[in-house]
Amino acid sequence: MISCQITRMVHLVTLVLVLLTCMLSFISCATGVTKVNLASTTIFNVMAYGAKGNGKTDDSPAFTNAWKAACQSKPNKKSILVIPAGRTFFLKPMDFNGPCKPSSIFIQVSGNIVAPTKKTDWFGHHVDTWLSFNTVNGLTVSGSGKIDGNGPIWWKDACIGSPIPGTTCRAPVAIQFKKCNSLRLNGLTHVNSPRVHLLMTKCNGVIFSNLKIIAPETSPNTDGINIASSTNVNIRDSVIGTGDDCIAISGGSSNIKISGIMCGPGHGISIGSLGHGGFDVVENVDVRNCTMKKTLAGVRIKSYQGGTGYAKKISFSGIKFDAVWNPIMIDQYYCPTQKDCVTSTTAVKLSDITFRGIAGTSNMDNVINISCSKSVACTNIVVDSVYIKSAIPGRKVYGTCINAHGRASHVKPSLKCLIP
């Protein structure tokens, strides 16, 4: 009898080790880590810290405790925070703060995570962000789970409580990564953010891949991914369809690579808006092999009049358009409200910008619009092998320029307005 019990225990322990090995192998493949040593890894399952996973009970305290344990685990170890499959975890606004002791932290999201369905659940919490990761280096978040921001409760009225009359309220960002270096995000589905789905600020060494980010075309300010003051960022092989920019790159960002993005609906891939209230710099941006389908804009650079700084060494190549409204655009007169728009002799300096190997259809007649500041010209603008026609059979299209210097070759419609 005792021998049988011992045998069963051995089988059980073996099964657990096999399952752990399989799970760690999956994480390794998904994140590019080639080997994870079981002896140097500690597992933290949110269920062991009191999470219910029924979609109704507030699981924030359990996640907080699990995160603290994972973050403060032994130095030079690898911590894995497990969010198991088959369950839905309701979280109120919370922070995942570092710095953490382990050299690497993995969050394996196999289950679903949902935001509050009532604004009253936000009372007592900050309203800027739902889930915030701060100063966590070596962080990998991966899995097949879904993160639902329950945006509809915010889209018609972003205010919470009883704000002072005349107050402009902003809905929260779904997930923010701030000062997180060597960050990886892979495989997840993000839906219905109140505002921006994913925001990175002051991060370095970032790879986002194989993501799906979805919100209705009519949802306001629901950008897919925003890059702010971050460097060495690679975003690839993802599907993004929202109510605003699929990807937006703002000031302070450099060495950005974007590829394999299916964008639509939304406002395309944008650099900017720049120069709003100060000095902005963006440089070394490479956007290639992306498709825009029925987006409000295709690829664009936008800046306010009166700004300062520069954007340079920017390339858009291998882009396909399908019934896009503003396929190629440089807009240095950006003024989204169209009220009290500033006219100024200062502007963000734009240079070394290339549009190459681009083709498709547009719902607009003006398919190439390069509108640079009248006082600060755009320089070294290259438009090469670009072929855009109307989505409406038989309709003519054209391109325009304002104070743009550069060259155009193999372009239809012809772009004779570029100044050599």
Domain(s) labelled CATH 2.160.20.10 in the chain stretch across: 41-154+171-244, 261-335+345-420
Both tokens of 304, joined, read 């306010």
**Per CATH, which fold does 41-154+171-244 belong to?**
Pectate Lyase C-like (2.160.20)
33 contacts 27 by C-beta, under 8 angstroms: yes
Residues of the chain by 3-state class (helix, strand, coil), percent to 5: 15, 45, 40
Which of the residues 190, 267, 276, 410 is marked catalytic? 267
3-state secondary structure of 2: helix
267 is catalytic: yes
- Provide DSSP, 74-131: -TT-EEEEEE-TT-EEE--SEEEE---SSSEEEEEE-SEEE--SSGGGGTTS-SSEEE
Both tokens of 268, joined, read 């395309």
Per-residue pLDDT of the chain (420 residues; tens, 9 = 90+): 444 443 344 334 333 433 443 444 444 433 333 334 555 789 999 999 999 999 999 999 999 999 999 999 988 778 999 999 999 999 999 999 999 999 899 999 999 999 999 999 998 888 899 999 999 999 999 999 999 999 999 999 898 887 777 777 899 999 999 999 999 999 999 999 999 999 999 999 999 999 999 999 999 999 999 999 999 999 999 999 999 999 999 999 999 999 999 999 999 999 999 998 789 999 999 999 999 999 999 999 999 988 899 999 999 999 999 999 999 999 999 988 777 777 887 889 999 999 999 999 999 999 999 999 999 999 999 999 999 999 999 999 999 999 999 999 999 999 999 999
3-state secondary structure of 63: helix
246 contacts 269 by C-beta, under 8 angstroms: yes
3-state secondary structure of 397: coil
84 contacts 45 by C-beta, under 8 angstroms: yes
- My answer on whether omega of the bond before 99 falls inside 30° of 0, hence cis, is yes
- Provide DSSP, 387-400: EEEESSTT---EEE
pTM score: 0.90
Residue 235, beta-bridge partner list: 208, 258
Residue type, 134: N
**Per CATH, which fold does 261-335+345-420 belong to?**
Pectate Lyase C-like (2.160.20)
